[in-house]
């Protein structure tokens, strides 16, 4: 009997040893197989901002590439940025036309000089296709911006936006053309707005209508940015003919310290949109910022231009604005930004002595931005503030104003897939759960799992002893 028990135990031990060996062999084979699979099949991005994922915009741009693109990675040995390395690997896996080549500046100290005269930090990129190239500094990949509303700094990763934009630039034969009107004391484009336009591969040209009979034929859009003097009747006629012929016009024009923009605003009057005299102020504290009733927090209307802001819960800031009264009944005018019902326009303008409503002030509500559909698919988008895209208000709005401006250009010039790839925040986010959920998880982790494994162990031991005691 004792011999039989020993034989049974020996057989049981041999069986266990064999099964262990088989399981180990399977694990080795699985690991070898997994090691040769592409990262896209073995990695899953669980980060809240999808830091390690490629957007659909990039996939569309990359999949359309028909030319060979080389991405030179300027990096010293063993100094590679892990996030950037992961990103570059994904681009290579998306298209056989994209090749990443490392260039160690210690080995090739003058390589980058043929592409840029700027300083080239470690982990910078150079994107090249045929005769075109674009340099992407490491400082353009990791962005640090001050959040004026929280008095803190936000760090974000813009590797995908910068790289996709560069690829789109070097493979494109024709780029969208933005013509910027001059000759009326217009403001210079703010640095942040200008940089974003360049990033979106929009070519800009300044021009004057004082000596021209028409808007250039290759203009995809005309921008009027913060004029301080009015246009002439001839210029008004040219611009009117341009938009009714299918042209696109974007205007930022607010109240002036001296004079008025009667001829310019007559472009809107042609579509039954009237400009109210003075500067709009809000009496509702929820609709103005920084204890300044003229720095408005407008309501956002639904449109293709404002949809991204609504989806992302962004709020634009409209400083020093002129009120617009929409009298249109045809549906050609869409109100993009509006005041509250209690807003009014101070006819004293820049000479405001009191923010309280006085005799002569004009009752609201007002539109602060409108989109006008013109004949032959022409379009005007009008912001009744010259300061909307100033750097300070872009910062105060946490980028909402910039997004609004770029969404407008994107809509007017035609949607391009490289547009609006947002940088991805690197700031920590924390998982917040309720007290009841935390208690449930504690019970499961402390009690549930150990009891489950204990039960499984007891069951296994009892089963083995029963088999050993069975007669042979």
What mean pLDDT is predicted for residues 26-46? 54
pLDDT band at 314 (very low <50, low <70, confident <90, very high): confident
Summarised one tens digit per residue, pLDDT across range 333-365 is: 999 999 988 888 888 888 887 778 788 888 879
Q: Which token pair is 69?
A: 């693109």
* Rounded Cα distance, 220 and 202, in Å: 10
Q: Residue 14's pLDDT is what?
A: 59
Asked whether 71 and 88 are in contact (CB, 8 A), the reply is yes
Its pTM surpasses 0.75: no
Calculate the average pLDDT of the chain: 80
pLDDT band at 452 (very low <50, low <70, confident <90, very high): confident
* Rounded Cα distance, 342 and 324, in Å: 15
Q: Would you say how long the chain is, in residues?
A: 472
Lowest mean pLDDT across 22-26, 240-244, 256-260, 292-296: 22-26
Q: Which token pair is 109?
A: 């100290």
* Rounded Cα distance, 74 and 101, in Å: 9
User: Which residues, other chains included, contact 103 with Cβ-Cβ below 8 Å and sequence gap of 6+?
Assistant: 72, 73, 74, 75, 111, 112
Strand-by-strand arrangement of the 424-425 sheet? 142-147, 152-157, 424-425
């Amino acid at each position: 009997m004792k011999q039989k028990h020993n034989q049974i135990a020996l057989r049981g031990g041999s069986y266990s040893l064999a099964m262990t060996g088989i399981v180990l062999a399977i694990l080795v084979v699985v690991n070898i197989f997994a090691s040769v699979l592409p990262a896209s099949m073995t990695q899953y991005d669980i980060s809240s901002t999808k830091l390690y994922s490629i957007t659909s915009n990039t996939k569309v741009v990359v999949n359309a590439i028909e030319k060979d693109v080389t991405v030179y990675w300027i990096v010293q040995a063993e100094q590679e940025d892990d996030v950037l390395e992961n990103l570059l690997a994904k681009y290579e896996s998306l298209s056989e036309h994209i090749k990443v080549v490392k260039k160690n500046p210690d080995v090739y100290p003058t390589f980058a000089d043929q592409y840029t005269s700027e300083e080239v930090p470690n982990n910078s990129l150079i994107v090249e296709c045929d005769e075109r190239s674009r340099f992407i500094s490491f400082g353009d990949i990791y962005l640090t911006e001050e959040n004026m509303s929280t008095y803190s700094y936000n760090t974000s990763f813009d590797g995908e936006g910068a790289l996709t934009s560069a690829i789109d630039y070097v493979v494109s034969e024709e780029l969208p053309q933005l013509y910027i009107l001059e000759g009326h004391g217009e403001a210079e484009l703010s640095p942040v707005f200008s940089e974003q336009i360049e990033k979106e591969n929009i070519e800009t040209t300044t021009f004057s209508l004082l000596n021209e009979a028409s808007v250039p034929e290759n203009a995809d859009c005309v921008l009027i940015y913060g004029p301080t003097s009015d246009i002439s009747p001839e210029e008004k006629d040219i611009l009117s003919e341009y938009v009714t012929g299918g042209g696109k016009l974007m205007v930022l024009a607010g109240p002036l310290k001296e004079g008025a923009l009667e001829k310019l605003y007559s472009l809107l009057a042609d579509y039954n949109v009237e400009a109210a005299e003075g500067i709009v102020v809000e009496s509702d504290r929820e609709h103005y910022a920084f204890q300044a009733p003229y720095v408005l927090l407008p309501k956002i209307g639904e449109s293709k231009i404002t949809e991204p802001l609504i989806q992302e819960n962004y709020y634009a800031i409209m400083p020093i604005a002129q009120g617009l009264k929409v009298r249109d009944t045809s549906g050609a005018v869409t109100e993009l930004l509006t005041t509250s019902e209690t807003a009014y326009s101070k006819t004293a303008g820049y000479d405001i002595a009191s923010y309280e409503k006085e005799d002569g002030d004009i009752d609201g509500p007002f539109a602060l931005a409108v989109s006008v559909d013109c004949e032959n698919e022409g379009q005007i988008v009008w912001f009744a503030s010259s300061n909307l895209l100033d750097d300070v208000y872009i910062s105060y709005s946490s980028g909402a104003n910039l997004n609004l401006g770029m969404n407008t250009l994107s809509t007017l010039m035609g949607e391009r897939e490289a547009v609006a790839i947002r940088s991805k925040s690197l700031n920590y986010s924390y998982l917040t759960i309720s007290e009841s959920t935390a208690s449930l998880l504690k019970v499961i982790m402390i009690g549930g799992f150990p009891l489950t494994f204990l039960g499984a162990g007891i069951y296994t031991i009892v089963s083995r002893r029963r088999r050993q005691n069975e007669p042979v």
